[in-house]
């Protein structure tokens, strides 16, 4: 037993879009990089600043330690602001026995450290204030002062933090920049994909041409290649199927014509009565089968035209008169009145055989589905600024939801009179499309039951 496939919306950490996938990897990567580079430069800069400042404090301390206690003058006062913000050092001068002689700031409460060297000491009065202290070793002579130099730890910390910020900021700034670049690149790529998809979506059923691989990103070329191989296989299968129908229909025509002839010969020998009726039914069935074969042949030729039909300047009025003339015999037999009204006489280039296919099928439908004693009118006029041909009948018409459906191959309305194959309108639409025309069916707008088959002419 196979386990059910889990479907549903993708979780946020498993996005399906390329943009989402890139973001989910790159954004955390950049943030971690920013953090790491901030922390690393924190450590490096702290070590650097301490070494530099320690050397400075030592030099300063030794320069004061070389003097004599008697010559000591009060030291210039250092402001708190420059001590904490600019890193200005505070110098303390002491007697050998640990009495403070002078200081750049008397309120820096740090006593003389017992051991010479570097120390980190909390202020004795303000516990939040931490000092980096260098205590110079005692001099050889008793007249020499003891020197202690202080520097605010707050200054070092602030400098280190600032340095870390400047190291991390550019990397962190990359996050929005990357998002923007990603968005633009992916949007551009998906736009090119959408263009290809739109082109494919706009194609008609018979267009199985290759999808151009040059218009999609290289990464998708294998997918497009696979699709093109599939399309080529489909095209071959489609052509083979049409050829088969064409060959079969063509081969069927000859024996059917022979059978029809035989039946005609037979009619003279069949006496009136039941046998004659049965022969008439046989003839009608044969006629239907012949019509179906003809329609199939016409349709399959349209699907795979060996060469595009030649186009000539067409006098549409003359062509329509001819088509109407051809159906007059049947119309008379069925007592249907056929009228022609050519208000405009458009002339354009088209294939005459395709145009005949269009109008003969529409007239054939009008004649076939209009009851005896009805009316048919062929009108060439202008509607919405375009030249159109209307074939208007007084038949039963079609319900609104069937007006498009009847263009499907082999579709016939339930209860439609026998004799049709359901291919006429499919043939009409395909032939019309090939000549740049469009066909639609609509209800009559004069309140009379019936159907209007409208053909929009080019231009
Ligand atoms: N003028 C019309 N009035 C009413 N129904 C129509 C009309 N034209 C077409 N139809 C309906 O649409 C269906 C499809 O028409 P279509 O011309 O494609 O096939 P058909 O007439 O049945 O067969 P054929 O292949 O011989 O033309 C018809 O069976 C009929 O039910
Ligand atoms: Mg028809």
Asked whether the beta carbons of 365 and 389 are under 8 A apart, the reply is: no
Q: How many CB atoms lie within 10 A of CB 94?
A: 21
Asked whether the beta carbons of 378 and 390 are under 8 A apart, the reply is: yes
Please work out, in degrees rounded to the nearest 5, the angle formed at the alpha carbon of residue 284 by the alpha carbons of 283 and 289.
95
Asked whether the beta carbons of 171 and 30 are under 8 A apart, the reply is: yes
Closest residue by Cα to atom 28, ligand 1, is 412
- Please report whether residue 379 resides in a domain: yes
Ligand 1 pocket, 366 CB below 6 A? Answer: yes
- Please report whether residue 321 resides in a domain: yes
Same domain, 406 and 291: no
- Please report whether residue 173 resides in a domain: no
What DSSP designation does 311 have? -
Parallel/antiparallel/unpaired status of strands 347-350 and 312-315 = antiparallel
Query: Which atom of ligand 1 has the smallest separation from the CA of 366?
Result: 1
- Domains: count for the chain: 3
H, E, C per residue of 58-122? HHHHHHHHCCCHHHCCCCCCCCHHHHHHCCCCEEEEECCCCCEEEECCCCCCCCCCCCCEEEEEE
Cα–Cα distance for residue pair 130/123, rounded to 1 Å: 6
Helix H or strand E encompassing 338:
strand 337-342
What DSSP designation does 416 have? P
Q: What is the pLDDT of residue 11?
A: 67
End residue of a domain, out of 303, 338, 364: 303
Ligand 1 pocket, 365 CB below 6 A? Answer: yes
- Please report whether residue 13 resides in a domain: no
Cα–Cα distance for residue pair 197/27, rounded to 1 Å: 30
| Three-state secondary-structure class, residue 131 | strand
18 by Cβ neighbours in 10 Å (0-12 / 13-18 / 19+) ranks as middle
Q: What is the pLDDT of residue 103?
A: 93
Same domain, 332 and 282: no
- Please report whether residue 336 resides in a domain: yes
Same domain, 235 and 148: no
Ligand 1 pocket, 406 CB below 6 A? Answer: yes
Mutate which of 359, 360, 425 for ligand 1? The one with the most ligand atoms within 8 Å of its CB, which is 425
Q: What is the pLDDT of residue 307?
A: 66
Q: Among 412, 363, 416, which Cα is nearest to 390's?
A: 363
- Please report whether residue 114 resides in a domain: yes
- Which segments of the chain have a pLDDT < 70? 1-13, 304-307
Same domain, 277 and 363: no
- Please report whether residue 193 resides in a domain: no
Q: What is the pLDDT of residue 306?
A: 58
Name residues whose C-beta falls within 8 Å of residue 101's C-beta, 6 or more positions apart in sequence: 69, 72, 93, 94, 95, 145
Strand partners, 339: 377
Q: How many residues does the chain have?
A: 459
Q: What is the pLDDT of residue 58?
A: 94
End residue of a domain, out of 144, 161, 178: 161
- Using alpha carbons, list the distances in angstroms from residue 395 to 4, 80, 223, 276, 420: 54, 106, 52, 32, 16
Asked whether the beta carbons of 391 and 366 are under 8 A apart, the reply is: yes
Residues lying with their CB under 5 A of ligand 2, a single-atom ion: 365, 424
Cα–Cα distance for residue pair 410/423, rounded to 1 Å: 5
- Please report whether residue 166 resides in a domain: no
Same domain, 281 and 352: no
Query: Which atom of ligand 1 has the smallest separation from the CA of 425?
Result: 18
Strand partners, 391: 378, 453
Query: Rg of the chain's alpha carbons, rounded to an integer?
Result: 50
Same domain, 316 and 451: yes
Mutate which of 416, 429, 451 for ligand 1? The one with the most ligand atoms within 8 Å of its CB, which is 416
Q: What is the pLDDT of residue 37?
A: 84
Cα–Cα distance for residue pair 369/169, rounded to 1 Å: 81
How many angstroms does the Cα of residue 426 sit away from the middle of ligand 1?
10
Ligand 1 pocket, 374 CB below 6 A? Answer: no
Asked whether the beta carbons of 444 and 452 are under 8 A apart, the reply is: yes
Ligand 1 pocket, 391 CB below 6 A? Answer: no
Same domain, 344 and 452: yes
Closest residue by Cα to atom 29, ligand 1, is 412
What domain range includes position 251?
A: 218-303
End residue of a domain, out of 303, 322, 338: 303
Ligand of minimum distance to the alpha carbon of 426: 1
Same domain, 331 and 293: no
């Amino acid at each position: 037993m196979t386990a059910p496939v889990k479907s549903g919306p993708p979780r946020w950490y498993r996005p399906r879009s390329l943009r989402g996938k890139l973001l989910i990897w790159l954004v955390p990567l950049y943030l971690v990089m920013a953090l790491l580079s901030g922390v690393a430069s924190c450590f490096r800069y702290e070590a650097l600043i301490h070494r530099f400042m320690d050397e400075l404090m030592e030099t300063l301390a030794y320069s004061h330690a070389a003097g004599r206690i008697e010559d000591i003058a009060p030291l210039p006062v250092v402001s708190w602001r420059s001590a904490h913000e600019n890193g200005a050092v505070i110098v303390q001068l002491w007697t050998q026995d640990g009495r403070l002689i002078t200081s750049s700031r008397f309120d820096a409460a740090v006593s003389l450290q017992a051991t010479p060297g570097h120390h980190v000491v909390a202020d004795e009065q303000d516990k939040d204030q931490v000092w980096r202290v260098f205590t110079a070793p005692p001099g050889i002579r008793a007249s020499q002062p003891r020197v202690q130099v202080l520097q605010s730890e707050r200054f070092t910390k602030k400098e280190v933090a600032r340095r870390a910020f400047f190291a991390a900021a550019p990397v962190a700034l990359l996050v929005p920049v990357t998002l923007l670049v990603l968005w633009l690149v992916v949007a551009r790529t998906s736009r090119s994909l959408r263009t290809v998809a739109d082109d494919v979506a706009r194609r008609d059923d018979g267009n199985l041409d290759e999808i151009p691989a040059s218009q999609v990103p290289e990464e998708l070329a294998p997918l497009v290649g696979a699709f093109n191989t599939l399309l080529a296989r489909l095209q071959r299968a489609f052509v083979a199927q049409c050829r088969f129908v064409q060959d079969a229909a063509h081969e069927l025509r000859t024996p059917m014509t022979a059978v029809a002839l035989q039946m005609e010969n037979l009619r003279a020998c069949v006496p009136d009565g039941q046998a004659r009726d049965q022969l008439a039914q046989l003839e009608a069935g044969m006629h239907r089968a012949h019509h179906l074969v003809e329609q199939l042949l016409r349709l399959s030729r349209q699907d795979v035209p060996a060469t595009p039909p030649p186009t000539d300047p067409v006098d549409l009025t003359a062509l329509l008169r001819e088509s109407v003339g051809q159906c007059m015999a049947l119309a008379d037999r069925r007592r249907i009145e056929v009228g022609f009204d050519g208000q405009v006489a458009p002339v354009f280039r088209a294939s005459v055989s395709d145009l005949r296919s269009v109008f003969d099928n529409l007239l054939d439908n009008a004649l076939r589905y209009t009851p005896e004693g009805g009316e048919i009118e062929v009108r060439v006029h202008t509607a919405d600024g375009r030249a159109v041909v209307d074939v208007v009948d007084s038949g039963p018409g079609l319900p609104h939801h069937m007006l498009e459906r009847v263009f499907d191959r082999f579709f016939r309305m339930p209860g439609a009179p026998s004799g049709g194959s359901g291919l006429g309108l499919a043939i009409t639409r395909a032939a019309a499309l090939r000549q740049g025309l469009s066909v639609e069916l609509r209800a009559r707008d004069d309140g009379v039951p019936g159907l209007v088959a409208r053909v929009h002419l080019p231009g």
